[in-house]
Structure 1
């Protein structure tokens, strides 16, 4: 069984951003989240990625929380001991076809140390046209709920994806859209990310998805706010 089938919540930390005030990776891990994902869209370097991944792995020694890398380019992937694996975005509504296969091919070309047994893909559907990821991938974000549902369905049924990720990145999403994606899936796990900032928003989006992802919140508001979202996501599942 894939581990994310048991998750309710993920914290995604961005190596191009600092943690909130004087908080540490230990504080992030202790929020109660189910997993840590390390990645970002802009400003990524191998050095920044290595520093954040190392810090997260060291912090998890006292907590049973897996650490994954979610890379935005081939050149920032690192392979430290203690890493659980890699979550690799494939942007299904990307205008730039490189985000379907091109950057992935480049990673395979330049990296001889890929651990394929611990490498998993995520079928991204990017929905906020103002987000950096939308500009970066030239995503077509003008999608109705049935369009998003269709992307989710083909991701699972035609491309065999175990994770579908509806990403609003920076703004709270449309529950009709997210719910449509969720209803279209049989066994795949639906991740939702974007605009989750408190108990209520996490609880709402958790009712329409399987796993709630928070990112900017950990950098902008800190771990107390993240703990609220953990509680909201957990209560939505129960």
Structure 2
């Protein structure tokens, strides 16, 4: 069984942003989240990634929370001791083929230290056309529920993906579309990310997905707000 099949909630921290006020990575770990993912789209450097990953690994000691890197490019990947693994996006609705295979090929070509036993892929479906990741990947965001469900099924059944990730990045998504993706999957885990900012939004999206990912909230509103989303997702799944 994959680790994420037992998760309800992930906090994604962005190395190009600061934590809220004087909060620490230990505070993030204490929110009740099931995992921490480190990654971002803009302003990423190897130095920033290394600092955040080391901080997360140190902050989660005693909390039994895994830390994963979600790399956006080959040049920002680091391999510290204590890291649980890598969750690598493959953008299924990308207009730029580089985000389906090209960037991944470059990582393999440049990095001789990839640990394949802890490297996993995520079948991303990007749906907010105003998000940086949509522009970055030239994603086709003009998809309806049937399109998204079909992408999800293709990801699992044709490409063997264990994670399908519906990403609205910065705005709360359409529950019908997210639910359609969830219903199309047999055993793959559906991650949802975008716009979850309180108990109610977490509860709503938790009803239509397996794992809710919270990102900007930890930087903009802090750990108390993140804890609310953990409570919302937990209630949705019980």
Q: Distance in 2 between matches of 1:115 and 1:237?
A: 33
Q: Distance in 2 between matches of 1:97 and 1:69?
A: 22
Q: Deviations along 1:198-220, whole A, 9 cap, x unmatched?
A: 00000000000000000000000
Give the structure 1 partner of residue 62 of structure 2.
62
Trace 1:1-238 onto structure 2 (pairs within 5 A): 1-238=1-238
Task: Name structure 1 gaps, 5 residues minimum.
Answer: none
1:119 shift after superposition: 0.2
Q: Distance in 1 between matches of 2:70 and 2:38?
A: 6
1:197 shift after superposition: 0.1
TM-score normalised by structure 2 residue count: 1.00
Q: Distance in 1 between matches of 2:234 and 2:165?
A: 18
**What's the C-alpha RMSD, in Å, of the aligned pairs?**
0.3
1:77 shift after superposition: 0.2
Q: Deviations along 1:77-127, whole A, 9 cap, x unmatched?
A: 000000000000000000000000000000000000000000000000000
Q: Distance in 1 between matches of 2:16 and 2:105?
A: 25
Q: Deviations along 1:150-172, whole A, 9 cap, x unmatched?
A: 00000000000000000000000
Following superposition, which runs of at least 4 residues in structure 1 exceed 6 angstroms of deviation? none
Please state whether the residue corresponding to 1:37 is helix, strand or coil. Answer: strand
Q: Distance in 2 between matches of 1:138 and 1:194?
A: 18
Please state whether the residue corresponding to 2:143 is helix, strand or coil. Answer: coil
1:71 shift after superposition: 0.6
For these two proteins, the number of residue pairs brought into alignment is: 238
TM-score normalised by structure 1 residue count: 1.00
Q: Distance in 1 between matches of 2:48 and 2:39?
A: 10
